Structure 1
Amino acid sequence: MTEVDPAGATAGRGTGGTAAAGDAEGLVARDRYVDLLRAFSILVVVLWHWAFTILVWGPSGPSATSPLGFTSGLWVLTWLFQVLPLFFYVGGYVHLRAWQRACARGEHLGHFVWRNIRRLSLPALLLAVVWIGMGAGLGAVFDVAWVGRAVLLVISPLWFIAVYLGLIALMPAWLWLREHFGAVPLVWFAGMVVVVDILRFRAGMDELAYVNMVLVWGLAFQAGFSYEQVVRAPRQFDAALMWAGLFGLVGLVFSGLYPGSMVGVPGETSNMAPPTLCIVALLVFQIGVAEMARPSLERWLERPGPRRVVEVVNRFAMPVFLFHTTGMAIGRGLFYALTGEIAEKQVPDTAWWLQRPLWIALSLACTLPVIWLFARFGHRRPTGGSPRVAAP
C-alpha cells in the first residue's frame, strides 16, 4: 500500500487517511484515496482490455481493434476512462514519498532507483521471455507465421512498464527540477509538447513525436510531486482544474487537429501513440475530477467493505496488470477449442454488448490461476532487504 508521512497529503482536505503501525520511522498515515485512484486506474485498464478487445484475423494473423471504431460518440467515455495520465500522476507522488522515506533512512538515490527498477522489471522481463520463448517454439514446430503477432498482442501492454521504468530511472532529474524550479517545469514540458505537436502535424515530422513519450508522461509523473499542494488547495482550485482541462480538451478536439478518442483507434491519428497535448489537457481534467470527488469517495472509503476491496486490488495490482492479457489469451484459446470460432464480429451489435460480462468473467477466471502461480513464485524469494515500494 501507499504510505505517506502524517504531515503529507492527509494533513490537508483529505479525511480518508488512517493511522497504521509503521516501521522504524514511527507511526505513518495511509492516504487511502491514493490507493483508490491506483486501484481504479488498474481496474479500468484491465476491464477495458477484457471487455472491449475485438480480435480480428487477417492473412498475416491476429490484430486487435475496439468498438470505438464502430460506435458513434463512444469516444467521449475515453475522457474519463483513459486513466494512464492519472496513474502516472499518482505514481509520481508515490515515488516521491517513497524516496523521502528512503532518504530519511540514509539510502542513496542511485540505490533507491535501482531497487525500484529491479523490482518492477524482473517480473515484466520474465513474462516477456516466457511468451517470446513459447512463440518461437510454437512457430518453429508448427510453422505458423502468425504466432509472433499473437505474442506481440499479449505482451503489448508492457510498453507502459517500459515508460514507467524510464520515469523511475529519471528520478534524479525530476527531483532536481522540483528542488530548483518547483512547479515551473510543468509549464515548460507542456510548451515543449506544443512544439512537438506542431512539428508532427504541420511539418510531418512523425518520428520526432515520440519525444512526447518522455515529455507528456514525464509531466504527469512530475505533476504528482505537487499532489499535496493540490490536496490542500481550496475546492475552487479543483473546479478550475476540472473546467480548464475539459475546455482544453473540447478546444483541441473540435479544432480538427486532434482525434476525439483518448485511446488508439485503428485508422485514425492517435492521441496515445505517441501522446499529444490532448493527454496533457486530459491530465488536468482528471486531476480536477479526482479532487472534486474526493470528499464523497473518502466517506465511501470509511466503510470496511470498499476499503477492503481497494486494499486487495492494490495488493495484486502488479500481477493483475502483468498477466491480465495472458489470462485473456488463455480464455480466447479455450473459447476457440470449444467452439471453433477464433475471431469476433467486427461491428458490435446488441448480442456483442450483452456478452461483455461473460468475456470479463472468462478472462478473470483464466487470469487468477496465473496470478496464483506468480504469487507462489514470489513467496519463494529471500526475505529481508529493503521495504517494498508501491510500483507502478
Structure 2
Amino acid sequence: MRDLVRRIDSATPPDRDRAIDALRAFAILGVVLGHWLVTALVSDSGTVRGASPLHYMPQLAPISWVFQTLAVFFLVGGQVGAKSYAAARAHGTGYPRWLRARLARLFRPVVAVLSVWAVAAGVMLASGAGYDTVHALFRLVLSPLWFLLVFATLTAATPLAARLHPLWPLAVVLYVDLFQFGLGGPEWLGWLNVAAGWLVPYCLGAAWARGGLPGRGAGWALLAGGTAATAVLILFAGYPASMVGVPGSAVSNLNPPTLAAVTFGLAQCGAALLLTGPLRRWLRRPAAWAAVALLNLSAMTVFLWHQTAMIAVTALGLLTGGALPGLHTVPDGGGWVLARLAWLPVFAAALLVCWAAFRTYEITAHKGRPRPGGPGGRIVREGRPDREEAMRRA
C-alpha cells in the first residue's frame, strides 16, 4: 500500500490542482450518501415500493443541504471542461475529437449498468415479481441517469459556456419561476430550468478556469449571497426547504431545478471556492491524495452502481423472511434513521463488490502494447492501464 501511495504521488504532475479532484470526489460521495439516506424501499404485502424519510419527517430537510452536492460537480465540470477544451485547441485538436474523448468515459459505464438491469428486470418479471416492484427498482437505478444527460449536454456546450456569464442562465431561471409560480404559467415551462439551472454552476466553473473568480472574495460573495437568497425564497416565497424531491410534495426543488435550488447551488459553489486552499494543503499528504485520485478514477462506476448496491442489500435482506428495520420498514421515525445509519457500511461493502466487477468499463484497457502520443498517450501492461499513467490522465 505504501508503494502504491508513493507511485500515485510521484506520478502526479506538479501543476495539477488536487483540490479540483477532491471537490469532485466529495460531490460524488455526497450524492451517494444522500441517496442512501433519503431513499427507502418498503416491503409491503409482497410488493416493494419507494419511500422517503423526508416525507414522514420534514424536519430532516437539512440533510439534503449537506448531501445534495450536484452544483459542486457542475462547477468542477465547467472548470475542467473549459481548461481541457482550451488545451485541446492549443494542441490543434478539433472540437468533435475533443467532445468524443470527453463523453467516452462518461457513457461507457452506462452500457454495463443498463445491460445488467435489462437482464435483471426480465428475470424478475419471468420469475413472478410484480410489475410495480420491478418498475420501482428500475426507476431507482435509472434516476441518476438524467444527471449524465444534462452533464453531457453542458459538456457539448463548453465553447459557449466558456464565454457565457452565469447571470444569463440565472436570469432564465428567475423568469421561468416567476412566470410559472407567480403568474400561473404551465408546468412544462419549468423544464427549461433543467438546462438553465445547471448551466449556472457550469458557467461559474468555466469562469473559474479563465481566472474570472479572483481571490477569496468571490467565494465569500457567492456563499453569503446564495445563502441569503435561498433563505428568503424558503421563508417568504413558499419554496420547499428540502433540496431534493420529496414524494407527495406539490413542488420539488430538484425536478426540475427551481430558483431556490440554483441559489443554494451558488452558496455551495462559494463554499467550494473557499475550501480549495485548505484542500490543497491537506492533499500534499500522499495518502490523502492517493485516496482522492483512486476515487476519481472510478467516479462514474461509484455513481452508477450505488443504487444497485442498496437494492442488492435490500433484496438479500428479504431472504430473512421479515422486514428489517431501516431496510424494509416505513421511514417514519428516529428508529428508522438510526437503523439506516447502521446499514450504510453494508451498502458500502456491496458497492465495493460492484466496483470490483464493473470498474473496468470506466478504464479502457488496450492489451499488449504501449500507445504513444506524448502527454496524451497511455501505457498498458498485461491488459491493465499502468496506474502511474492513469494518475496523469485522471
TM-score range, shorter chain: 0.7 to 0.9
Select the residue among 20, 38, 42 that pairs with 1:52.
38
Alpha-carbon spacing, 1:58–1:173, altered in 2? closer, same or farther (3 Å)? farther
Structure 1 residues 330 and 216, CA, compared in 2 at 3 Å: closer, same or farther?
same
Percent of matched pairs sharing the same residue = 32
Change in CA separation of 1:355 and 1:391 when aligned onto 2, cut-off 3 Å? farther
Aligned to 1:243: 224
Provide the residue aligned with 1:163 in structure 2: 150
Q: Give the superposition deviation at 1:251.
A: 0.9
2:178 maps to amino acid: I
2:301 corresponds to which residue? 319
Per the alignment, residue 69 of structure 1 pairs with 55
- Aligned partners of 1:56 and 1:62 also within 8 Å: yes
Asked whether 1:274 is paired with 2:256, we answer: yes
Aligned: 1:151 with 2:138:
yes
Report the Cα offset of residue 294 of structure 1: 3.4
1:226 aligned partner: 207
- Taking a change above 3 Å as real, the CA distance of residues 347 and 376 of structure 1, as seen in their structure-2 partners, is closer
Residue range with higher mean Cα deviation, 230-239 or 208-217: 230-239
Read off the aligned partner of 2:32 and give its amino acid letter. Answer: V
RMSD: 2.9
Distance 1:83 1:163, change over 3 A: same
Cα deviation 1:18-39 (Å, max 9, x = unaligned)? 99768xxxx6611111111111
CA deviations over 1:83-141 (Å, ceiling 9, x no partner): 10111111111111122222222211011112222321121133123212321332134
Equivalent residue, structure 2, for 1:6: none
Unaligned runs of 5+ in 1: 1-17
Say if 1:61 and 1:150, in contact at 8 Å, map to a contact too.
no
Cα 1:221–1:61 change in 2 (3 A) is: farther
Between 1:114-123 and 1:249-258, the stretch displaced more is 114-123
Q: Distance in 2 between matches of 1:125 and 1:52?
A: 27
In the alignment, which residue of structure 2 is the partner of 1:13? Answer: none
TM-score in terms of structure 2 length: 0.83
Aligned CA distance change for structure 1 residues 96 and 377 (closer, same or farther; 3 Å): closer
* Structure 1 residues 32-111: aligned runs within 5 Å: 32-57=18-43, 61-111=47-97
In terms of mean alpha carbon deviation, does 256-265 or 33-42 score higher?
Answer: 256-265
Structure 2 unpaired stretches of 5+: 1-7, 378-389
Q: Contact 1:63/1:153 (CA < 8 Å) preserved in 2?
A: no
Q: How far apart, in 1, do the equivalents of 2:141 and 2:9 lie?
A: 40
Which letter maps to 1:134? A
- TM score, norm. by length of structure 1: 0.83
Find the aligned partners of 2:135 and 2:174 in 1 and give their Cα distance.
36
Asked if the contact 1:42–1:317 (Cα under 8 Å) also holds between the matched residues in 2, the reply is yes
Query: What SS is found at the alignment partner of 1:29?
Result: coil
- Give, in whole Å, the separation in 2 of the partners of 1:390 and 1:138: 42
* One-letter amino acid matched to 1:262: M
- Alignment-derived partner of residue 243 in structure 2: 262
1:297 aligns with 2:279: yes
* Superposed CA offset, 1:254-282 (max 9, x none): 12331111111111110100001112211
3-state DSSP class of the match of 1:142?
A: coil
Mean CA deviation greater in 295-304 or 42-51: 295-304
Q: What is the SS of the residue equivalent to 1:64?
A: strand
Match of 1:114 among 100, 105, 108: 100
Which AA in structure 2 matches 1:197?
Answer: D
- Cα distance in 2, alignment partners of residues 173 and 368 from structure 1: 38
SS in 2 for 1:265: coil
Q: Displacement, 1:232?
A: 6.0
Instruction: Name the counterpart of 1:198.
Output: 178
Aligned length: 364
Of 336, 340, 363, which aligns to 1:356? 340
Kindly tell me: are residues 345 and 265 of structure 1, through their superposed partners in 2, closer, same or farther at Cα, counting changes over 3 Å? Answer: same
Change (3 A) 1:98 1:20: farther
Cα deviation for residue 381 of structure 1 reads 3.5
How far apart, CA to CA, are the structure 2 residues paired with 1:230 and 1:103?
18
Q: Which amino acid aligns with 2:197?
A: V
In structure 2, what residue type is equivalent to 1:171? T
Q: Retained in 1: the 8 A contact 2:108–2:362? A: no
Quick one: which amino acid aligns to residue 362 of structure 1?
V
Distance, in Å, in 2 between the alignment partners of 1:345 and 1:289 is 36
Q: Quote the offset at 1:296 in angstroms.
A: 3.2
Alpha-carbon distance in 1 for matches of 2:241, 2:279: 28
Output the CA distance in 1 between the equivalents of 2:363 and 2:188.
43
Which amino acid in structure 2 is aligned with residue 151 of structure 1?
A: F
Distance apart, 1:244 and its partner CA: 0.6
Contact persistence 2:72–2:268 (CA under 8 A): yes
Q: In the aligned structure 2, how far is the partner of 1:391 from the partner of 1:52?
A: 34
- 2:33 aligned counterpart, secondary structure: helix
Deviations 1:231-265 (A, max 9, x none): 86233332222111111001111123311111111
Per-residue displacement from partner, 1:142-197 (whole Å, max 9, x unpaired)?
A: 2632213321212221111121122122234324xx1xxx53xx212111111111
